Structure 1
Amino acid sequence: MIKVHVLPCGSTVVDEALPFSDQSKNPLAFTGLFRGKKHKVRVTVRAYLIEHPKGLILVDTGWDDAIRQDARAYEGFFNYFASPGFLPEGEGIVDQLAALGYRTSDLDYCILTHMDIDHAGGIGEVKDARRVMCSEAGWQAANKRNPRYLKRLWQDVDVTTFEDAPHDLFGDGSVVLLPMHGHSAGMTAVKVGGKDHYLLIAGDAGYGRPSWERQVLPGVEWNRKETAKSLKRLREFALDPHCEAVLMTHDREKTKDAFVL
């Protein structure tokens, strides 16, 4: 039996055109520049814990607890302006794991879908996991000059990379890391379960049902063409009768707290 827990790890407030570009014809609307509060939406930040017979796997980490002290200083001007983060007490990744009876040192893997700060913010808090992993392309992009990434977060973390190709974590098809590029270089989705009953942890390959249902691109992406390809793949997964759920980090739709596969 495999169990996947959905962990609410705070939220962020963004312009409505950031997740769905069809909300404005202004190409800079996603930044929120010169846009009023009526265009702001609060979206979730989620991480996922996979209880697997062969190991305990955390997918993404959400925000670092340090964001509570001074979010503006923590995120930097660009990130804070476009998507200020909020992390209520009890929703940090360490607290979330503790609520399920685990310590960070119990983690066999921490898989990062990509290195944006709302996904890898808590990487320092789980550095004692047996293995912290992200894709090679994602790692290379995150360590170049780019305001969306905060390299200081993983300076003392031992990160292992995997090729930008399907990666079968246990060799039995039950946890497969899938390239889902577009939102970022090396963006990775995680397929959990068997061919007859599975779910997909999609990270930021999509932001909500309109992403895959109507193929709505986000307001900003690393590669528009690759994003469109990934959205088509998301739709294929979502419409597959064997797929129980496509879980997106910032989806505003409610989902179950846990799935059993």
Structure 2
Amino acid sequence: MSQNAMKRLYLMQVGSMPEYQIPIVCYLVQTGDGKNILIDSGLPEIMPEGESEFENGQDVIEQLASIGLKPDDIDTVISTHYDIDHAGRHAAFTKAQYVVQRVHHLDAASNPRFAANRPQWDQPMERIRLVDGDTELLPGLELIETSGHVPGHQSVLVRLPKTGAILLPIDAVPFGKGFTRDEQDDGSNPDAEAIRASTIKLLDLVEREHIGLVIFGHDKEQWEGLKKLPEYYE
């Protein structure tokens, strides 16, 4: 295994949406040469006023501490998108480079959806790496542009030495039942066409690459059967 190849993937549940009983999660990838790459940062420490649909659990800082990591040990934060349950602790990682799709970062600047969480994601530009579309970040770590949920949403593909390729669709496909070519559009979602295009793109990727594990963004039933930190996939 080359030194900078992917070595481990940790899964963390940092909270939930009590009404729907679904997990709020983030991920940590460690490389062979000791780099720590956080994928999303979960919920904020203190919820903005009026935000009641989320409930905090053990936050990402505590969970990282349980395996001996401090915020300054995180080299990179892959920001899939700036929703409050995915980017709520971004500001804690002051030594990290943030990686986000350019389309998303530019949209967020004027999109009221992301305004309450702006103090977290609006970091100095010298620390933000804007990417355009599908990008190989490191050998074995790929970003996949999957707009629909929001403009410039990105999913992540991690290639591990033993488990093989693991796809993290994040909010492109939050639940396993939606990972199908037969999803019917009932006309209620204006973003349905873009969501469908991203879903098909990921289904094609899974078939082409023979990906054995797809970890959906908020799937409670699947989540209960997965390894969580301190356990890991390797």
Q: Which moved more, 1:44-53 or 1:129-138?
A: 129-138
Matched pairs, number: 219
Output the aligned Cα RMSD.
2.7
Offset of residue 162 of structure 1? 2.5
Q: Does 1:231 align with 2:165?
A: no
Aligned partner of 1:4: which letter? Answer: L
Change (3 A) 1:156 1:189: closer
Q: Does 1:3 align with 2:8?
A: yes
Distance 1:93 1:182 in 2: 26
Determine which of 172, 180, 183 is the counterpart of 1:205: 172
| Contact 2:144/2:157 (8 A) holds in 1 | yes
Q: Does 1:138 align with 2:131?
A: no
Determine which of 208, 213, 217 is the counterpart of 1:249: 217
Q: Does 1:190 align with 2:156?
A: yes
Name the residue aligned to 1:30: none
Offset of residue 63 of structure 1? 0.5
Q: Does 1:51 align with 2:30?
A: yes
Q: For structure 1, which runs of at least 5 residues remain unmatched after alignment?
A: 14-39, 68-73
Q: How does 1:69-84 map to 2 (within 5 A)?
A: 74=48, 76-77=49-50, 80=51, 84=53
| Contact 1:184/1:222 (8 A) holds in 2 | no
Distance 1:218 1:211 in 2: 14
Change (3 A) 1:190 1:137: same
Distance 2:158 2:170 in 1: 13
Aligned partner of 1:85: which letter? Answer: F
SS of structure 2 residue aligned to 1:124: helix
Name the residue aligned to 1:260: 233
Offset of residue 218 of structure 1? 10
Aligned partner of 1:163: which letter? Answer: V
| CA displacement 1:92-136 (0-9 Å, x = unmatched) | 11101101111111111000100111100111122x233122111
Change (3 A) 1:219 1:111: farther
Q: For structure 2, which runs of at least 5 residues remain unmatched after alignment?
A: 1-5
Q: Which moved more, 1:92-101 or 1:141-150?
A: 141-150
| Contact 1:197/1:244 (8 A) holds in 2 | yes
Determine which of 92, 114, 132 is the counterpart of 1:164: 132
Change (3 A) 1:188 1:216: farther
| Contact 1:59/1:113 (8 A) holds in 2 | yes
Name the residue aligned to 2:3: none
| Contact 1:8/1:47 (8 A) holds in 2 | yes
Distance 1:63 1:201 in 2: 18
| CA displacement 1:39-64 (0-9 Å, x = unmatched) | x4121110000011242100000011
Name the residue aligned to 2:84: 117
Name the residue aligned to 2:55: 86
| CA displacement 1:7-43 (0-9 Å, x = unmatched) | 1110114xxxxxxxxxxxxxxxxxxxxxxxxxx4121
Distance 1:112 1:124 in 2: 12
TM normalised by structure 1 equals: 0.74
Offset of residue 168 of structure 1? 1.1
Change (3 A) 1:217 1:188: farther
Name the residue aligned to 1:12: 17
Offset of residue 192 of structure 1? 0.7
Distance 2:190 2:92 in 1: 27
